[in-house]
Amino acid sequence: MKSNFNDKQIQILKVAETLFAEKGFDGTSIRDISKVAKINIAMISYYFGSKERLLESLLLYSTSDLKSQLDQLIHEELEPIEKINKLIELYINRINNNKGIYRILHFEFSSEKREKSLAAFSELKKENLKTLETIVQEGQQKGIFRKDVIVPLLTPTILGTFFHFQMNKSFFKEIVQLNTEEAYENYIKTHLTQHIQFLCRQGLLPKCSYFINYFSFLLMKD
């Protein structure tokens, strides 16, 4: 997907990402993007048509290669629970390394009207969800995962927990005693990621496995 954009389009997309993340979609005009990118408004309209289509192109440009990574994960020689753990690591690392685009996703897609207008991106999300469903179904067929798993709720468990932690950064840095930015980032890669993996395993594993899951989580923390 990224190769479908030329250098000029990518320049526009990167400026749009910065401004959308800082000022919000509604607070950013095509004129603002044109001024910062040093590209005339007519050229932006020629490439993208409208601000909504520009936003959709930005989201596809920034997130579409995630699908190929998820597709590769399906075919790896791993047990289903290991695939879930790796999927969570992939999501967390990706979000943490691309905070701008995911800030846009988190805030702009609270609008149902806006989400419906971005059909191509919505289809991409559905495809990514199918990958998660495939992994869960594999675990169910092997008798590892429960049969009553609500797969669509796994994604908000992952993303919601992460975004809450990020949106309350100062609070968590204080109560968890993360005195440097390096300590904060490392905490995300270790403790927060492990916590989210634990939550997802609770939703996937049979009830008789809860205690095993809990003690495994405690051992990982140590």
Q: Which of 60, 86, 106 is the last residue of a domain?
A: 60
- The verdict on 107 and 184 lying in the same domain is yes
CB 73, CB 131: distance < 8 Å: yes
Q: In this structure, what DSSP letter does residue 6 have?
A: -
d(CA 110, CA 11) in angstroms, rounded, equals 27
Residues 43 and 71 in one domain: no
Considering the domain architecture, whether residues 56 and 142 belong to the same structural domain is answered as no
- Please tell me the predicted confidence (pLDDT) of residue 117: 58
CB 164 within 8 A of CB 192: no
Is 18 in the same domain as 42?
Answer: yes
Q: Domain ends where: 60, 89, 109?
A: 60
Average pLDDT per 10 consecutive residues for the chain, totaling 222 residues: 79 93 90 95 94 88 82 93 94 84 70 63 83 94 92 90 90 95 94 93 72 47 52
Q: Contact, 51 vs 26, CB < 8 A?
A: no
- Claim to verify: residue 207 and residue 140 sit in the same structural domain: yes
Pick from 88, 82, 68: nearest CA to 157: 88
Quote the crossing angle between the two packed helices 154-167 and 193-204, to the nearest 10°. Answer: 150
102, 76: one domain: yes
Q: Supply the pLDDT for residue 197.
A: 93
> Do 111 and 56 lie in a common domain?
no
Instruction: Give the CATH number, domain containing residue 19.
Output: 1.10.10.60
Q: H-type helices in 30-188, by residue range?
A: 30-37, 41-48, 51-63, 65-74, 80-97, 99-108, 112-117, 119-141, 154-167, 169-175, 181-187
Parent domain of 45: 2-60
Contact call for residues 131 and 71 (beta carbons, < 8 A) = yes
Q: Are residues 28 and 104 in the same domain?
A: no
Contact partners, residue 88, CB within 8 Å, separation at least 6: 158, 193, 196, 197, 200
Q: What's the domain count of the chain? A: 2
Confidence at residue 94, expressed as pLDDT on a 0 to 100 scale: 85
Instruction: Tell me the residue length of the chain.
Output: 222
Rg (CA), the chain: 20
* pTM of full prediction above 0.85: no
Q: Among 60, 76, 109, give the residue marking a domain's end.
A: 60
Could you say which DSSP state residue 150 is in?
-
Q: Are residues 136 and 207 in the same domain?
A: yes
CA distance 148 to 132: 15
Token pair recorded at residue 192? 């927060």
What's the CA gap between 217 and 222, in Å, rounded? 9
Going 178 to 179 to 184 to 187, the CA torsion angle's sign is negative
Q: What is the pLDDT of residue 110?
A: 61
pLDDT for 99 equals: 77
143 and 163 share one domain: yes
How far is residue 185's CA from residue 192's CA, in Å, rounded to a whole number? 10
What CATH number is attached to the domain comprising 130? 1.10.357.10
Clarify whether residues 129 and 172 are in a common domain: yes
Give the pLDDT of residue 210. 46
Tell whether 56 and 87 lie within a shared domain: no
